[in-house]
Structure 1
């Protein structure tokens, strides 16, 4: 069969094109151009049966093959190239391109997808672990989910004497923790137990910018206290602005007040300190002098930690204590009482009294015990660490007169300008 190119259709071959008989293939090999019929126009071959969908159609005899779009993943065939599935088909110009090979589409790299899936799983697991850790607590304040819980947890930590826990409710740690130990805190609550902790209100107006105000009340010993404490969000968690109170001592160290230079806090001298940090509550203020007591004129309660600064000035008040009063009284009794053991007009020290009546014979005088009921011990002079003493001391006195006989009378000694120095370990009485 030499008159028709590619006559007969055998269906798709394993390579994806239409099959043909061996005779046709041989003819296509030995005949490159068809013979023309003289005087007649070229004949149009009858239509071939349509190949299955997706297969290229057979071109007419002597006509160049039309460019065809290749299958999935295959570029279009070049002009003059046999369509896909028709290898070696006649009709292509001599020296034309052969059939295009079938190109297998590249497989997608699944490694990035696997890595992304692993990352998502780790993030989800990490979030779950963090949630569990945050919800059940990590041993500090991180489990607090609201501003009110932070304030209440802080006061409960103070009431339990747990200094480290109390400090964990704020990220702003103090410069010194000398007076912020659990030992010191337990001394505070032993004097003023913290009880009746109540959250009165929580203002969430500024919560969108990480701020909240919590109105809280509590008792420190027998003292009721309430304040509105500012709370802020730090790192997604509610925190107190400060967990300790900064006491400014700069005015004490620069003062000429002698009493302030002797002051102690929980038994430790602070004369060289510019500031100390303490928890709100009882403060054990004292003096290096055993005869002086120190109190803070304004106690440090909840209002000391309500602001964003949490600083305060120590306002100490010094006074002669009971020990000082008793010691001075004893020294005065001894001094004035020593006169009674003398028979002289001018008894030796420490007697501060003398008789100026020249009508009495010296050495014959009898002194009664002194009446000290009118003597008054004054307030402490903080700048001098002295106590002023005033009043009157009375004696019944008798003695031999120069003109004979016995003279009797009452001697009154006025106490003026007398002071007691209480700056040291021993009280020193200074008589005028």
Structure 2
């Protein structure tokens, strides 16, 4: 009797186990039993950094999955952890859910698409469309320099990522790139699965140094002239009438630390620059005696930082 009962119990347990395993398979492959279960499952997959599991909660096609990896998702979650996920109500296709993103509470009623008969519940999309506003917020000139987690933004101006922090950068060392606004994700963002990414450009420290180097190349060339006031160059001996043109021996500036950049046009990548530099000169006078001295020059103009090296437009 004991042996028979034990065997029967084992069969029941195996059947139950089979049902459990089958149900779990249905949940991951065919959808969730309720809309609330789909929402919770998706958020929990994000929270543990499981990209494949998160993507399984939608059948929508994603044009580019370069950013939809475990490594990138885990970086997003490290920045803004997802915690305290609670389903407050789950009625039909409407789910009332609350969660915290980086410690900030979010509260949202989400509606999911009604599944076909026999199918489980899934989200409309598991990846967020990030629109960089091509030709509106970000120009064709500057968009190619913007990166997300080190990946270039697609030429369409739209990237696809999981909801959360986006690590923006620049493939051009002359620019620093950062978001106009950086906030934790929200449940509304996850429900809509779309975001507009405003990008702010600054001249980087490397960019300032590149401007100084470009000016050095220009002024070294200017120093080769023998004229008192070389054309397209900043140095000039002034109005002295006793200096003989064609006898100037110029030495180019060696210190460019005072050169700084100003306004950057974020549509063209052209910035203004200005600062003081010092030339030295030795020149013959009409009396036959040489004269020499230092000539400080205030220089300014525009520089195109999209070019390598940057191109200088000097204003005189």
Superposed pair shares fold, TM > 0.5: yes
Query: In the alignment, is the contact (CA less than 8 A) between 1:339 and 1:367 conserved in 2?
Result: no
User: Which residue of structure 1 aligns with residue 244 of structure 2?
Assistant: 361
1:252 is displaced (CA, Å) by 1.3
Counting only pairs closer than 5 Å after superposition, residues 98-177 of structure 1 correspond to structure 2 as: 131-133=19-21, 136-138=24-26, 140=28, 150-151=38-39, 153-158=41-46, 160-171=48-59, 173-177=60-64
Q: Determine the C-alpha separation between the residues in 2 that align with 1:401 and 1:243.
A: 79
Query: In the alignment, is the contact (CA less than 8 A) between 2:214 and 2:309 conserved in 1?
Result: no
TM-score by length of 2: 0.71
Q: Determine the C-alpha separation between the residues in 2 that align with 1:192 and 1:397.
A: 61
Query: In the alignment, is the contact (CA less than 8 A) between 2:57 and 2:123 conserved in 1?
Result: yes
User: Which residue of structure 1 aligns with residue 128 of structure 2?
Assistant: 245
SS in 1 for 2:163: coil
SS in 2 for 1:277: strand
- CA, structure 1 residues 325+208, in 2 after alignment: closer, same or farther (shift >3 Å)? same
Q: How many residues align?
A: 293
Q: Determine the C-alpha separation between the residues in 1 that align with 2:44 and 2:161.
A: 16
Structure 1 residues 339-393: Cα deviation after superposition (integer angstroms, max 9, x where no partner): 55666524588x5423344322342545474553432212421222212112332
Structure 1 residues 124-150: Cα deviation after superposition (integer angstroms, max 9, x where no partner): xxx978852465455728796777765
Query: In the alignment, is the contact (CA less than 8 A) between 1:188 and 1:282 conserved in 2?
Result: no
1:166 is displaced (CA, Å) by 0.7
1:383 pairs with one of 267, 278, 296: 267
User: Which residue of structure 1 aligns with residue 7 of structure 2?
Assistant: none
- Provide structure 2 residue ranges, at least 5 long, that are not aligned to the other structure: 1-14
Q: Determine the C-alpha separation between the residues in 2 that align with 1:203 and 1:227.
A: 13
Tell which structure's C-alpha radius of gyration is larger.
Answer: 1
1:311 is displaced (CA, Å) by 1.6
Higher strand share: 2
Give the superposed CA RMSD.
4.0
Q: Determine the C-alpha separation between the residues in 2 that align with 1:195 and 1:404.
A: 76
Query: In the alignment, is the contact (CA less than 8 A) between 1:198 and 1:218 conserved in 2?
Result: yes
User: Which residue of structure 2 aligns with residue 293 of structure 1?
Assistant: 176
Query: In the alignment, is the contact (CA less than 8 A) between 1:280 and 1:301 conserved in 2?
Result: no
User: Which residue of structure 1 aligns with residue 106 of structure 2?
Assistant: 227
Q: Determine the C-alpha separation between the residues in 2 that align with 1:256 and 1:140.
A: 39
TM-score by length of 1: 0.55
Query: In the alignment, is the contact (CA less than 8 A) between 2:276 and 2:296 conserved in 1?
Result: yes
User: Which residue of structure 1 aligns with residue 209 of structure 2?
Assistant: 326
Query: In the alignment, is the contact (CA less than 8 A) between 1:372 and 1:393 conserved in 2?
Result: yes
Query: In the alignment, is the contact (CA less than 8 A) between 2:49 and 2:77 conserved in 1?
Result: no
- Provide structure 1 residue ranges, at least 5 long, that are not aligned to the other structure: 1-126
